[in-house]
Amino acid sequence: MNITYSKKKQEFRHDPVMEWLAAARDWLVKNSTLAASVTLGAVFILVIAAVTMTVRRSGLEKASEAFGSAMAAYAAGNEQKAVELLAAAADNYKGTPQGAYSAYLIGTIMLNEDRFDEAIEWLLPVSSRRDAGFVPAAAREALATAYEGKGDLDNALKYNEMALNDKRITYRHPAIRWKLALINKELKKFDLAETQCTNILSDSLATAFHSRARQLLAEMHVSHSRS
């Protein structure tokens, strides 16, 4: 599946769907402890489904209506129909932000069902988009989760690092640092794991992860002393 790029920034600025995605982002900031324990895409879907029943008209009317229909189906509990409509929106409106939103949401649905290869297929093109706000950055984090699920820790590390370096999702950086610490520990890159733990402890916005970072540091120190 190839998603083409679009530079319709003026239309995107007034996109009500993007405003709802921003509202979902704000919810995640206020509930960071919960967000750390579940897949990011799942939270986005639940928040969007709760507030999205119809899509107001915009400069991208048909794409917005297609996306809105998919969200209405999801809110009604018909996930299969929602996926079908999202797939149609992603394919028919590839060059629009709504096409990117649709592909991203399908990817997170696949991810939540442990269908990692399918998740990667949908998320990978979104991760390089330039016209969908912070969604491409979120797709990078989701890709990292998918690769980790496949046991591909090198790619999980790669995409988590890309997400960590993306300022569009700074609110997710504490959780991403924690995942990087765990992956680096698994790969026996203990110095890098310790660096991530130290960064977490020095971040006043990462208090939800402070105790876990201290515990992981203690475990690695004990391991080093025994070796």
Are the beta carbons of 217 and 197 closer than 8 angstroms?
yes
**pLDDT at site 53:** 36
Distance of CA 85 to the CA centre of its chain: 20
Distance, in Å, from the CA atom of 141 to the CA atom of 28, rounded to the nearest integer, reads 14
**pLDDT at site 221:** 87
Give the model's confidence band at 23: pLDDT under 50 very low, under 70 low, under 90 confident, else very high.
Answer: low
Q: C-alpha distances in angstroms, 225 versus 59, 114, 191, 217, 221? A: 62, 37, 14, 12, 6
Task: Calculate the dihedral angle through the C-alpha atoms of 27, 30, 32, 35, rounding to the nearest 10 degrees.
Answer: -20
Of residues 75 and 104, the one with the higher pLDDT is 104
Beta-carbon contacts of residue 120 (< 8 Å; ≥ 6 apart): 107, 143, 146, 147
Write out the H or E segment, with its range, that includes residue 152. none
Give the model's confidence band at 222: pLDDT under 50 very low, under 70 low, under 90 confident, else very high.
Answer: confident
**pLDDT at site 21:** 54
Domain ranges for the chain: 1-150, 153-227
Identity of residue 165: N
Residue 166 has pLDDT above 50, yes or no: yes
Please check whether the domain covering 1-150 is classified as CATH 1.25.40.
Answer: yes
Convert the pLDDT of each residue in 44-53 to its tens digit. Answer: 554 454 444 3
Task: Calculate the dihedral angle through the C-alpha atoms of 207, 39, 151, 177, rounding to the nearest 10 degrees.
Answer: -20
**pLDDT at site 136:** 94
Q: Above pLDDT 90, what percent of the chain? A: 56
Distance, in Å, from the CA atom of 100 to the CA atom of 115, rounded to the nearest integer, reads 19
Distance, in Å, from the CA atom of 69 to the CA atom of 73, rounded to the nearest integer, reads 6
Residue 29 has pLDDT above 60, yes or no: no
Beta-carbon contacts of residue 122 (< 8 Å; ≥ 6 apart): 1, 90, 103, 104, 106, 107, 110
Which pairs from 89-94 meet CB under 8 Å and 24+ separation? 89/63, 90/1, 90/3, 90/122, 91/1, 92/63, 92/66, 93/60, 93/62, 93/63, 93/66, 94/2, 94/3, 94/4
**pLDDT at site 225:** 62
Task: Calculate the dihedral angle through the C-alpha atoms of 107, 97, 89, 82, rounding to the nearest 10 degrees.
Answer: 50
Q: Above pLDDT 70, what percent of the chain? A: 72
Are the beta carbons of 91 and 1 closer than 8 angstroms?
yes
